[in-house]
């Protein structure tokens, strides 16, 4: 795994597998934030106004909800855009290690990507909740463990 990590950092052909998913995930995250600000926040403000509550309460609730869920959303989006690239990356690494690459049928790749997204979302949600029981330490330990399990999974 350390050899593959070194290749990822030094090889120009492999380096895009590091930055491309992160940039695409951040772009989708920004788009999701913009759409949420344009749709969910005005709706929440209208509901609270109908109940006679001030608009700043909706802004505060939206900000808090976004802050709490943003890590899970960003991680899920990055996994969503990086999943389809894993097959190509695996083939390139296997060839460089002198192994015969294993071909994965396309239908299995889609299923694998959906499973990774579900694991990422649910795992991120559990990590977020673990912060309530063990602030800072819980999310770091549990999040690190889940990332390692996902990284080394078949």
Could you give the CA distance from residue 53 to residue 72 in angstroms, rounded to a whole number? 30
Residue in this structure with the two tokens 């900000």, named with its chain if needed: 63
Q: Does the reported pTM lie above 0.85?
A: no
- Which tokens go with 49? 């106004």
Which distant-in-sequence residues (6+ apart) come within 8 Å of 28 by Cβ?
77, 80, 81
Burial of 12 (0-12, 13-18, 19+ CB in 10 A): exposed
- Which tokens go with 1? 């795994």
Q: What would the pLDDT profile of 56-99 be if each residue is shown by its tens digit?
A: 898 998 888 888 777 777 777 777 777 777 777 777 878 877 88
- CA distances to 39, 92, 104, 144 from 20, in Å: 28, 16, 22, 22
10-residue averages of pLDDT along the chain (154 residues): 75 82 88 90 90 90 83 76 75 80 69 75 74 70 66 50
Buried b (16+ CB within 10 A) or exposed e, 23-55: ebbeebbeeeeeeeeeeebeebbeebeeeeeee
Could you give the CA distance from residue 28 to residue 30 in angstroms, rounded to a whole number? 5
Identify the pLDDT of residue 77: 78
């Amino acid at each position: 795994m350390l050899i593959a990590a070194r290749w990822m950092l030094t090889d120009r052909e492999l380096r895009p597998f590091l930055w491309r998913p992160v940039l695409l995930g951040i772009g989708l995250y920004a788009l999701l934030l913009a759409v949420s600000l344009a749709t969910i926040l005005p709706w929440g403000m209208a509901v609270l106004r109908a109940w006679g509550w001030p608009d700043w309460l909706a802004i505060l609730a939206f900000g808090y909800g976004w802050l709490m869920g943003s890590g899970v959303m960003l991680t899920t989006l990055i996994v969503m855009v990086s999943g389809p690239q894993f097959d190509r990356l695996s083939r390139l690494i296997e060839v460089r290690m002198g192994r015969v690459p294993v071909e994965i049928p396309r239908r299995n790749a889609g299923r694998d990507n959906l499973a990774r997204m579900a694991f990422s979302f649910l795992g991120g949600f559990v990590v977020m909740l673990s912060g309530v029981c063990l602030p800072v330490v819980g999310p770091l330990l549990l999040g690190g463990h889940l990332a390692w399990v996902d990284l080394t999974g078949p």
